[in-house]
Amino acid sequence: MEFNKIEDILEKYFQGETTIAEEKELKEYFSSPNVAQHLEQYKPMFGYFSQVKEQKSTQEIPLQTKKRNVAWLSIAASAVVLLGIGSYFYVSEKNTPPVVAQSELGTYDNPEEALAATQKALALLSSNVNVGIESVQYIKEYEESKNKIFKQ
């Protein structure tokens, strides 16, 4: 091989512009016994690649697998679900009002008490209806103002 060609390829190698074929050519040259004297310094670098390529590791790498016990996980999930359902029923049962007998609902023994309760309920209803009527009056005023401004 020509020394000039090897020097050119070596220069391209250090610039990072060589192809795989050129790098292979450099490895073959530096692994041969006839290397130019001024290029001897690069021989260990390219010789290292061929030596390492032939080395094989015999060391075993222990793989630790994580075993998850699915049975315990499913038992724990079931317990959480049952606990949630039980607490829901316990709380909802606690918050329900006590059951009142049907005979106590809306019945009065004294007619004056019944009249007072009815008047109270009707007054409440009347006040709420009056608030609604006032709102409708505002809407009517708005409609009249709008019709004056935007004549149709």
Residues 80-128 have pLDDT tens digits of 999 999 998 888 877 776 655 555 566 788 888 888 888 998 888 888 8
- pTM score, whole prediction: 0.34
CA–CA separation, 19 vs 120, rounded Å? 100
Q: Is 64's pLDDT higher than 60?
A: yes
- Give domain limits for the chain: 3-54, 109-148
The region, left, alpha or beta by phi > 0 then psi within -120 to 50, assigned to residue 32 is beta
* The pLDDT of residue 103: 55
